[in-house]
């Protein structure tokens, strides 16, 4: 063979040599020269499509088969197909030891570089072969033998008894790895699944076994079907487990529920024991996310002595607790559900200043009484309240009713200047106070005494919440105050009225939402509003911020909702005329609306024109219906007022125009129908009364035979 390097190729295997380091520059090492087409044909890619560039020293060739070759051999590198990397072996010293390669295919080729079986050792033949390569000829037969030898050597390397000891070394390494796998090693938490990791962490806790057993008992103890004897037995076992450990278990999310359950279902002995164990930690429990519920259960299921002890632990800390997200809930719960008058007064007094946190005045129940007895302290008390309340203007804190009480006391006794400053602080957050009576009163005071900017900001904060405000027992009164005081009716229409119109079906059918609609139609009408409500609303008349004339403001608001209200009646006529609660609203819409009510009157008349059979219970007619006949009666009586006002649209005329022939005769067959006919005759309208009398002449004989009260009166009217 020639002095040049041997080029071996097997399927998915490639071996080439590069020039020596002395012949190649660093640039050439990174980018090899482009080979000839003849050498590309003999190349194959690596077994995995990818290989690594390895520079390895070769072992000495076996004796007897060693060809004559120089100490340094060189060959041009051959590029591979796109996406494949090449293996380049550089030989510097043939006497160097064998170094193990990472890829097994390269190991086979390295071992096969010695002459395989069947290859000639003649220098002439090797020289002839190299000459043929130089001339561009391919020694195909010899290369095929070399490939077969390389494949055979590869099998030996991967099996037992491999030549050169490479296979043996590899086998020893494999055995070492297997032993390492069998050996015990500590399992890391990162290697575990999430559930297994969580369970392992729980087991590392010293209270794991106690916790698991306590939760098993808790699952059974809270069942409703458990007998009292069994519940008492399980409570005893559960208390035996957590006894002395409650102060440690009460702060966890699961064991806290176990203790709460025992406090609920356990006997008084266990309740007292738990209280004695945890009573010194009540302030700490109140600020805990889970332990706070123990204090809540203690207030609900504890004795009066235990409840008073909880109040004593809150004493002096109300202002601090109310600002805390967890403790504030317990203070609010205690204030609303369990505090008596003296306890509520004492809790509110703590907002008056530091001295009132320590020294209470049981004989004085309100700030008004305190100021009356100590007029010189008014300024100090109001200053302390302002400092405290300014910090409480937060969404979560403003939801507490105790804060609403304090704000109400401050607004009642503050000077106009101090009140204006507090309104400016509170105006964007007042939306969170409308669910209580005191909170709604505070919001109304802000609207009455705030500047035009304060009112505008406050109304805009109501956006998207108008429906909820309308349905609030106290919150709807804030909207009534806004209708009476805000001069900017354009803003009111965009923010308030448009949302009312959008949700009109839900608002007008609610008992509080209906008040909002009625106040737009007929404000302060004693027929719809209680005197106590009007007494509160009238307080806003003294405000100095409203400049627009009251009549103009009311007319502009009514114009914005008149047409939608009439359309609503026309679309939901059947539900309205058969609902007792909606009767007055319907009359108010038809009476006070600024839009044409003809469509609504026609819709009602069409329902009245349906065939009528006296005494039918399946489809009760509007004439005989409890609410329906009152609707017709009120609308006919309302026509008299419309006639006096000069209105051209009269319900009675529209009704008679739509009713089919003979409908009035059928109405005379029932008592309620007779009274409707009586009101039509008594209307004394030139187009109504004569027409009714004319149609009822044929039924006079029948009316004489009827004993109904309405029939007798109708007969007299016809005579």
pLDDT at 112 over 90: no
Tell me the pLDDT band of 373, cut-offs 50, 70 and 90.
Answer: confident
Among candidate residues 673, 658, 668, the one with its CA nearest the CA of residue 697? 668
pLDDT at 455 over 90: yes
Tell me the pLDDT band of 474, cut-offs 50, 70 and 90.
Answer: very high
Q: How many CB atoms within 10 Å of residue 574?
A: 14
| Averaged pLDDT for residues 442-469 | 95
pLDDT at 353 over 50: yes
* β-bridge mates for residue 14, sequence order: 9
Angle at 707 between CA 703 and CA 710, to 5 degrees: 70
Tell me the pLDDT band of 111, cut-offs 50, 70 and 90.
Answer: low
Q: What is the pLDDT of residues 571-597, one digit of tens each?
A: 999 999 988 889 899 999 999 999 999
User: Across all residues in the chain, what is the average pLDDT?
Assistant: 80
- Quote the pLDDT of residue 142: 62
Tell me the pLDDT band of 303, cut-offs 50, 70 and 90.
Answer: very high
Which helix (H) or strand (E) segment holds residue 444: the answer is helix 437-449
Which helix (H) or strand (E) segment holds residue 589: the answer is helix 583-592
In angstroms, rounded to a whole number, what is the distance separating the alpha carbons of residues 95 and 57?
Answer: 8
- Quote the pLDDT of residue 460: 94
572: tokens are 């939901």
- Quote the pLDDT of residue 193: 75
* Overall fold of domain 415-586: 1.25.10
The residue count for the chain: 719
- Quote the pLDDT of residue 356: 83
CA distances from 98 to 20, 92, 212, 313 (A): 19, 13, 62, 84
Residue whose entry in the numeric block shows the structure tokens 């609306």: 593
| Averaged pLDDT for residues 258-283 | 93
Percent helix, strand, coil in the chain, to 5, is 60, 0, 35
- Quote the pLDDT of residue 110: 58
- Quote the pLDDT of residue 503: 95
- Three-class DSSP labels, 237-268: HHHHHHCCCHHHHCCCCCHHHHHHHHHHHCCH
Q: What is the pLDDT of residues 27-49, one digit of tens each?
A: 444 444 444 444 444 444 444 44
In the chain, where are the structural domains located?
Answer: 9-165, 208-314, 415-586, 596-718
In angstroms, rounded to a whole number, what is the distance separating the alpha carbons of residues 589 and 600?
Answer: 9
51: tokens are 């290989």
Tell me the pLDDT band of 617, cut-offs 50, 70 and 90.
Answer: low
Q: Is the dihedral of CA 568, 573, 575, 576 positive or negative?
A: positive
CA distances from 669 to 84, 663, 684 (A): 103, 11, 23
- Quote the pLDDT of residue 321: 94
pLDDT at 380 over 80: yes
- Quote the pLDDT of residue 262: 92
pLDDT at 119 over 80: no
| Averaged pLDDT for residues 175-192 | 54
- Quote the pLDDT of residue 174: 53
- Quote the pLDDT of residue 372: 85
* β-bridge mates for residue 89, sequence order: 17
638: tokens are 């309302």
| Averaged pLDDT for residues 478-482 | 96
Q: How many CB atoms within 10 Å of residue 508?
A: 24
In angstroms, rounded to a whole number, what is the distance separating the alpha carbons of residues 178 and 197?
Answer: 27
Angle at 635 between CA 619 and CA 651, to 5 degrees: 95
pLDDT at 279 over 70: yes
Among candidate residues 173, 156, 159, the one with its CA nearest the CA of residue 102? 173
12: tokens are 């998915």
In angstroms, rounded to a whole number, what is the distance separating the alpha carbons of residues 301 and 652?
Answer: 64
> Are the C-beta atoms of residues 17 and 89 closer than 8 Å to each other?
yes
CA distances from 527 to 168, 318, 550, 664 (A): 108, 44, 20, 32
Among candidate residues 330, 334, 353, the one with its CA nearest the CA of residue 344? 334
Q: How many CB atoms within 10 Å of residue 525?
A: 14
Higher-pLDDT residue of 121 and 526 is: 526
Q: Is the dihedral of CA 701, 702, 707, 709 positive or negative?
A: negative
In angstroms, rounded to a whole number, what is the distance separating the alpha carbons of residues 53 and 56?
Answer: 10
Helices 401-413 and 341-349, packing angle to 10 deg: 70
In angstroms, rounded to a whole number, what is the distance separating the alpha carbons of residues 551 and 340?
Answer: 46
- Quote the pLDDT of residue 259: 93
Residue whose entry in the numeric block shows the structure tokens 């010695």: 114
- Quote the pLDDT of residue 24: 41
183: tokens are 């050996």
In angstroms, rounded to a whole number, what is the distance separating the alpha carbons of residues 80 and 78?
Answer: 7
Q: How many CB atoms within 10 Å of residue 542?
A: 8
Tell me the pLDDT band of 619, cut-offs 50, 70 and 90.
Answer: confident
- Quote the pLDDT of residue 375: 83
Q: What is the pLDDT of residues 50-82, one digit of tens each?
A: 444 444 444 444 444 444 444 443 334 444 444
In angstroms, rounded to a whole number, what is the distance separating the alpha carbons of residues 357 and 249?
Answer: 33
């Amino acid at each position: 063979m020639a002095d040049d390097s041997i080029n071996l190729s097997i399927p998915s295997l490639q071996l080439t040599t590069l020039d020596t380091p002395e012949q190649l520059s660093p640039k050439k090492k990174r980018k090899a020269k482009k080979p000839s087409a003849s050498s590309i044909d003999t190349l194959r890619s690596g077994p995995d499509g990818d290989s690594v560039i390895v520079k390895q020293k070769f072992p000495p060739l076996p004796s007897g088969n060693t060809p004559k070759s120089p100490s340094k051999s060189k060959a041009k590198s051959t590029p591979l197909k796109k996406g494949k990397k090449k293996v380049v072996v550089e030989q510097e010293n043939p006497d160097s030891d064998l170094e193990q390669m990472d890829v097994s295919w390269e190991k086979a080729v390295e071992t096969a570089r010695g002459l395989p079986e069947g290859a000639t050792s003649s220098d002439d033949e090797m020289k002839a072969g190299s000459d043929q390569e130089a001339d561009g000829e391919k020694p195909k037969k010899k290369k095929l033998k070399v490939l077969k030898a390389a494949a055979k050597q590869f099998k030996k390397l991967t099996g037992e008894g491999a030549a050169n000891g490479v296979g043996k070394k590899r086998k020893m390494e494999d055995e070492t790895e297997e032993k390492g796998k069998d050996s015990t090693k500590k399992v890391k938490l990162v290697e575990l699944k999430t559930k297994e990791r969580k369970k392992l962490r729980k087991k590392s806790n010293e209270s794991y076994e106690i916790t698991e057993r306590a939760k098993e008992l808790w699952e059974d103890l809270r069942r409703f079907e458990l007998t009292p004897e069994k519940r008492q037995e399980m409570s005893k076992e559960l208390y035996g487990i957590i006894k002395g450990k409650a102060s440690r278990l009460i702060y966890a999310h699961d064991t806290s529920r176990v203790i709460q359950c025992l406090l609920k279902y356990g006997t008084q002995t266990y309740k007292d024991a738990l209280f004695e164990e945890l009573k010194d930690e009540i302030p700490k429990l109140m600020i805990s996310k889970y332990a706070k519920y123990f204090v809540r259960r203690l207030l609900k299921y504890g004795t009066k002595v235990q409840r008073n002890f909880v109040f004593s632990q809150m004493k002096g800390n109300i202002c601090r607790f109310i600002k805390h997200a967890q403790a504030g809930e317990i203070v609010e719960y205690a204030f609303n559900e369990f505090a008596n008058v003296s306890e509520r007064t004492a809790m509110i007094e703590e907002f008056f200043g530091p001295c009132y946190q320590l020294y209470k005045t049981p004989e004085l129940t309100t700030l008004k009484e305190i100021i009356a007895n100590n007029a010189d302290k008014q300024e100090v008390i109001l200053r302390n309240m302002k400092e405290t309340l300014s910090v409480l203007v937060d969404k979560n804190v403003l939801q507490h009713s105790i804060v609403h009480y304090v704000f109400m006391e401050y607004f009642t006794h503050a000077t106009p200047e101090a009140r204006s400053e507090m309104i400016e602080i509170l105006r964007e957050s007042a939306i969170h106070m409308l669910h209580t009576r005191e909170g709604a009163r505070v919001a109304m005071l802000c609207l009455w005494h705030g500047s035009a900017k304060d009112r505008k900001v406050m109304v805009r904060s109501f956006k998207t919440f108008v429906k909820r405000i309308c349905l609030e027992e106290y919150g709807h009164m804030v909207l009534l105050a806004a209708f009476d005081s805000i001069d900017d009716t354009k803003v009111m229409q965009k923010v308030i009225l448009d949302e009312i119109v959008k949700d009109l079906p839900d608002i007008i059918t609610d008992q509080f939402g209906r008040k909002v609609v009625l106040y737009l139609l007929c404000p302060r009408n004693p027929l719809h509003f209680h005197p106590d409500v009007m007494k509160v609303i009238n307080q806003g008349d003294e405000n100095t911020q409203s400049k627009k004339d009251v009549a103009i403001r009311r007319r502009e608001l009514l114009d914005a909702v008149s047409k939608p209200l009439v359309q609503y009646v026309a679309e939901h006529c059947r539900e309205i005329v058969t609902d007792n609660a909606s009767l007055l609203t319907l009359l108010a819409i038809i009476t006070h609306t600024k839009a044409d009510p003809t469509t609504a009157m026609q819709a009602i008349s069409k329902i009245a024109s349906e065939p009528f059979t006296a005494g039918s219970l399946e489809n009760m007619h509007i004439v005989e219906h409890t609410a329906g006949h009152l609707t017709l009666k009120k609308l006919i009586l309302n026509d008299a007022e419309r006639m006096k006002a000069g209105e051209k649209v009269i319900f009675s005329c529209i009704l008679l125009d739509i009713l089919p022939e003979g409908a009035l005769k059928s109405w005379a067959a029932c008592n309620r129908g007779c009274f409707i006919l009586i009101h039509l005759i008594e209307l004394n309208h030139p187009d109504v009364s004569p027409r009714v009398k004319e149609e009822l002449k044929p039924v006079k004989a029948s009316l004489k035979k009827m004993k109904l009260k309405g029939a007798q009166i109708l007969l007299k009217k016809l005579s």
